[in-house]
Structure 1
Amino acid sequence: MLTGTNLLWLGDFNQSLVLNEIRSKESISRVELAERTGLTAQTVSNIVRRLLDAGLVLEAGRRSSRGGKRATMLRLNAESCYAVGLHIDPARTTLVVTDLRGRVVTRVSRRTPAARGPGRVIGALVRAVHQIVERSGVPADRVLGIGVATPGPIDPGGGLVVEPPNLPGWHSVPLRESLESGTGLPVVLDNDATAATIGERWAGGEARSADMAFLYFGTGIGGGLVLGGRPYRGISKNAGEFGHITVVVGGRECRCGNRGCLETYLSPHAIIDDAARRRGEEPPRLPRGSAATVEYYGRVCRAAAAGEEDALAVIEAAADHLGHAVVTLTNILDVPMVVLGGWGISGIGDLYRRAVTEAAATQPIARAMRKTRVELSITGDDAAAVGAASMVLHTTYAPRFGGPAG
């Protein structure tokens, strides 16, 4: 059984604030830290000394100055601690070990045995966590914990996966308790799209410091929000279900019980069916989220990226629906940035980004007053797994950002 460390779990808010500023920069001086945090020079000096003693921060030489004493620069010691990230998708489960900066040290991906029920899946996850930590070669006492990203809805307070439509048979599964018992490590749990959002913010540094909406493309379409500098989860902790924005009134029937949801036009299953119909074929009967579905979907995406007419037309139609949904989103939330990520846009991200950029520039009511940036995720296909690991790092070192909000 792995044993988590308690040494580095920081409760001091000012200390977490200073470490977060150091993390977001390549290097920074004590004077700059005082300016950015509003803390006194003496307070910053005391905190930096504690961080240096703990090995979380390193001195990185001196910066030249026009006059006076040259400033000693500080940088994050990314190898001081690590986290395990685990993303449970109906099609595949991805595990990563990341360092303190959110960089992936080791990665594995395997099929999710979802049809065998949650007990078999959890048993496989416990074994996989032990294996990836051993494979990574990082000292076990530097692993802070496990972050788990899973399809919603969830009860993060109770650590339960409640009733995800894409994981049949999962009814109020005590996932956090089961993983903690099996691994000996503390576990944090969130839905996959919110986890991906946190990972994007953590790994992106200053490039992702603004408020944003993150649209996650997997077996379904989800999303996460950063508002007022913090993740916004909503009253039930399940905000950001962008896949269930209505884009066609009275349109296709959705698994959520409504009609015309974005997910019914943009999910891998929808793209596969539309591509088959456009070629005059009967849509294949593939299990939702299965490996066969992922493979078939990948072929459609690669064909679209290569300019094949039928596949490209299907993706462009889906991108048009996505653009309308993002316009609705930006009209309501007025966020300065929209990020697109997840394995579901691998190879076709630029097609979606261009369509959303055009819609966001020409259709929102406030288009004359602000320009919404549309970016592809910097964490790539493994956004949710990297985000899951980042949840551990956030909870530990940036509680104001990682902790629950409205």
Structure 2
Amino acid sequence: MGALSAEHRAVLRRWEAAGGALATRASVVLLAADGLRDAEISRRLGVSRQTVGTWRQRWTSAGIDGLEQRPRTGRPATVDEAEVVTRTLLAPGGSGASRSVARELGLSHATVAGIRRRWRLTPDEAAAPSVPTRPPLPGADVWVMGLYVDPERAVLLAGTRRGAGHHGGGPRAAGGTVIGADVLAGLDRALDAVLAAAPGGATDGAAAERGPAGGGAAGAASLRDGLADYLAEASRSHPDLLLHAVTLWDAPGGTVPAPPDGLLTLHRIPARSTWRTFLRAMIALDSTSHPESSRRVYLDLAAELKRYAAARQDRPCAAVRWLRENVAGHLRAEHTPDGPAPNLSWSGVNQIDLGSFNECVVIETVRLSGTITRGEIAHRTGLTQQSVSRIARSLLDRGILIEDAQRRATSGKPRTPVRLSGTAAHALGIHIDPEVLTAVVIDLDGAIVCTRSSPVTADTDPAEFVERVAALGRETLAQARGAVREEGFLGIGVAVPGPVDIASGTVLGPPLMSAWGDLPLLYLLKDHFPCPVLMEKDSTAAAAGERWIGRDRRARDFAYLYLGTGVGTGLYLNGDLYRGISSNAGEFGQLCAIALGRVGKDGRPEMVPECNPPVSVPDLALRGGMRAPDGVGPGAGSGSTAAYLAVGEAAAAGDPAAAAAVREVAQAVGRGALGLVDLLDIDLIVLGGPFFTPDVADFYLDEITRTVNEFPTARRLRRVEVEPSVLSAEAAAVGAASTLFHATFTPRLRGERRPPGASGGLRA
């Protein structure tokens, strides 16, 4: 053992002088530092050599902290059940981590096992977990729905399904959405800031030892009224759940008022838990049981707590009143939704079941080539001729491939090429735009079988909006029914403006669609369709469609610049869509703002108007002297699409003001594209989207091509091609449908991440 620092030696001497459990540990380390062997230390202190070895090892591995936290068997004086639950749920390996949790917390395995049985977290439990509050929550499948904090108390709002019984078979990992220690630590810091801002602070216990906030009885009554209003609001906002108010802490003698009409039940935390660990346990239980309870939900909660703490000095009676969005769309097990007619099931999820990675490799090779012989497949893929023949025979039997006309060979027998059968698979794509809903059904070749659209306004009620999207999908499927084999229907892709929380299927802050913000759209739509439903950002969906339909022309890395209500980017890199950790890769506006030097005084990149073409192009044209088209004026608002099309038509006809406006926006977009080229080192940019119209296409192509080839750092090493999209005006809808083909047929090794929501039945 090395020499002790003066600081550590002083600490150990104090422990040794104080006596008790720490004295022996300190003596072991001090004697070992003086060079004594374990046997001599054991003799001097009258302890076993095993004890000496244990504390020497703990000192070597963990220092002072290792001596303070003794792992021991047997039941300690106090056991925090909620801490055991949290460690169990979030530990690697999930339900099989009992022994490691016991070792980590210094508990016996029997103690941990008993707690897990009490909370019903054992692997063999038939029922879902149980939360032993006082009184216990009446059902399983628990969501964390809200948090109320004022200077007197804190109340956690939990939700359970209506109706009797437990659902599910224990917590299930929501792949990729389980929160980590970083999120819990962030919540801890935010709570500490809230407690520091509150008069008197709070303590880590079931109750806070402090008096009411300023204002005496009147102030306390005001706070109780505020909580009662909050609970009533929660009951109105979440009518599909049974709500339970769990008091985390309150002032001495404080009570939680029951809302009128008994809209929810009142509970206290379990006796053998602190409020802080119980809150962690509830969050862990929620996030591991529900994919919609993603990191974003709890990052939002932490942000709300921080805002409250920062505002305390200005609003001494303000309260945290956090309520999450409705989870009604995730309660499908409770009812049979009003969806398609019984004979319109479209549930062919497992019919196309690819048995191997090599099958996907063959399909991808055929798709890129159009038509190709078996020998050419073997040459391009490196597979043996026998393997290719076997795989091709299987795919032919299942109707995924079909044979083409024979080719005459220079020697030997004629060769029969194969190609994809377009009718082997179909998918429905739905694009959600602030002004119009578009739905298309496409086949495996990317051909549009049918398309329908429906106008929509941004102020449409969310419930009516979801019903209109579902109705449009049903109508489009009904129209395509004669051309689509039910057993080959893969599912539905939905393209939405970003940012989007893919894990929870929630549209967060869509431009010009504020009424639909925080709408759990994916799970609401799943109520209407008994088939896989995937959600993608519109620009990412467009990139998927470009890759699939572009075949060999898009068989390399590229960035898709999507000109819609805002400019977004879809990225296809290293043979797959690149979505990023939150599936929001490709947000273009801030990159463009930085490239243009548009940064506010606070350092935040500004919202660049050029990155909203349907608004900026008409405004620039009118300011440049163009005569306003009939019915179109400055700030056209909802008429911006008509204004944009009118300016584009004028620019193509030679109007100087219109042409200058389009060119100015194209130059700004080009500066952002330059950042993409330098950052990603790509040599292909694809332009598309609803506002990349034929009238303005040449302006964008010319300006962006010039910028990305004249200014990049590595311009001498590559030529960047800028090409129009192979997709039609329905790029996002076609791309959304293509995500089903991409998820099903693109070759990936098992274990690689697939798009969120992709069915496990569609194996690669």
Q: Shorter-chain TM-score: what band? A: over 0.9
Question: Cα deviation per residue 1:112-147 (whole Å; 9 max; x = unaligned)?
Answer: 233113321210111111111121232351321111
Within the alignment, does 1:130 sit opposite 2:474 as a pair?
yes
Cα distance, 1:399 vs structure 2:
5.2
Indicate how the Cα distance of structure 1 residues 402 and 394 shifts in structure 2: closer, same or farther if over 3 A, else same. Answer: farther
Aligned with 1:349 (options 677, 681, 697): 697
Aligned with 1:369 (options 712, 717, 734): 717
Cα distance, 1:251 vs structure 2:
6.3
Q: What are the equivalent positions in structure 2 for 1:259-338 lying under 5 Å apart?
A: 259=606, 261=608, 263-264=609-610, 266-279=612-625, 284-287=634-637, 290=638, 292-338=639-685
Aligned with 1:54 (options 398, 407, 410): 398
Indicate how the Cα distance of structure 1 residues 284 and 244 shifts in structure 2: closer, same or farther if over 3 A, else same. Answer: same
- Counterparts of 1:154 and 1:250 in 2: how far apart (Å)? 25
- Counterparts of 1:119 and 1:252 in 2: how far apart (Å)? 38
- Counterparts of 2:605 and 2:673 in 1: how far apart (Å)? 19
Question: In the alignment, is the contact (CA less than 8 A) between 1:249 and 1:259 conserved in 2?
Answer: no
Rg bigger for which structure?
A: 2
Question: In the alignment, is the contact (CA less than 8 A) between 1:3 and 1:185 conserved in 2?
Answer: yes
1:250 corresponding residue in structure 2: 598
- Counterparts of 1:100 and 1:332 in 2: how far apart (Å)? 33
Question: Cα deviation per residue 1:162-212 (whole Å; 9 max; x = unaligned)?
Answer: 232332122332222222221222111100000000100100000111100
Q: Which amino acid aligns with 2:462?
A: P
Aligned with 1:81 (options 425, 447, 450): 425
Within the alignment, does 1:4 sit opposite 2:347 as a pair?
yes
SS of 1:237's partner is: coil
1:207 corresponding residue in structure 2: 553
- Counterparts of 2:571 and 2:517 in 1: how far apart (Å)? 26
Aligned with 2:742 (options 385, 388, 394): 394
Q: Which amino acid aligns with 2:648?
A: C
SS of 1:177's partner is: helix
Q: Which amino acid aligns with 1:286?
A: A
Gaps of 5+ in 1: none
Question: In the alignment, is the contact (CA less than 8 A) between 1:113 and 1:121 conserved in 2?
Answer: no
Question: In the alignment, is the contact (CA less than 8 A) between 2:626 and 2:658 conserved in 1?
Answer: no
- Counterparts of 2:460 and 2:412 in 1: how far apart (Å)? 68
Aligned with 1:168 (options 478, 503, 514): 514
Q: What are the equivalent positions in structure 2 for 1:9-48 lying under 5 Å apart?
A: 9-48=353-392
- Counterparts of 1:211 and 1:232 in 2: how far apart (Å)? 10
Q: Which amino acid aligns with 2:621?
A: A
- Counterparts of 1:103 and 1:61 in 2: how far apart (Å)? 21
2:450 corresponding residue in structure 1: 106
Question: In the alignment, is the contact (CA less than 8 A) between 1:62 and 1:72 conserved in 2?
Answer: yes
Cα distance, 1:154 vs structure 2:
1.3
SS of 1:379's partner is: coil
Quick one: higher RCO (CA 8 Å, sep 6+), 1 or 2? 1
Cα distance, 1:157 vs structure 2:
2.6
Question: Cα deviation per residue 1:86-114 (whole Å; 9 max; x = unaligned)?
Answer: 11011211111101011111112221233
Within the alignment, does 1:194 sit opposite 2:540 as a pair?
yes
1:158 corresponding residue in structure 2: 504
SS of 2:685's partner is: strand
Gaps of 5+ in 2: 1-339, 757-764
Question: In the alignment, is the contact (CA less than 8 A) between 2:678 and 2:713 conserved in 1?
Answer: yes
Question: In the alignment, is the contact (CA less than 8 A) between 1:93 and 1:109 conserved in 2?
Answer: yes
- Counterparts of 1:252 and 1:201 in 2: how far apart (Å)? 37
State the percentage of identical aligned residues. Answer: 37
- Counterparts of 1:240 and 1:351 in 2: how far apart (Å)? 23
SS of 1:224's partner is: strand
Indicate how the Cα distance of structure 1 residues 304 and 266 shifts in structure 2: closer, same or farther if over 3 A, else same. Answer: farther
SS of 1:7's partner is: coil
Q: Which amino acid aligns with 2:682?
A: V
Aligned with 1:147 (options 477, 493, 496): 493
Question: In the alignment, is the contact (CA less than 8 A) between 2:454 and 2:472 conserved in 1?
Answer: no
Root-mean-square deviation over aligned CA pairs: 2.3
Cα distance, 1:362 vs structure 2:
1.4
Moved more, 172-181 or 212-221: 172-181
Q: Which amino acid aligns with 1:44?
A: V
2:318 corresponding residue in structure 1: none
Question: In the alignment, is the contact (CA less than 8 A) between 2:567 and 2:611 conserved in 1?
Answer: no
- Counterparts of 1:9 and 1:102 in 2: how far apart (Å)? 20
Question: Cα deviation per residue 1:357-402 (whole Å; 9 max; x = unaligned)?
Answer: 1122211111111101100011031111110010011111115399
Task: Report the TM-score when normalising by structure 2.
Answer: 0.50
Cα distance, 1:280 vs structure 2:
8.1
- Counterparts of 2:555 and 2:403 in 1: how far apart (Å)? 24
- Counterparts of 1:158 and 1:63 in 2: how far apart (Å)? 51
Question: In the alignment, is the contact (CA less than 8 A) between 2:619 and 2:635 conserved in 1?
Answer: no
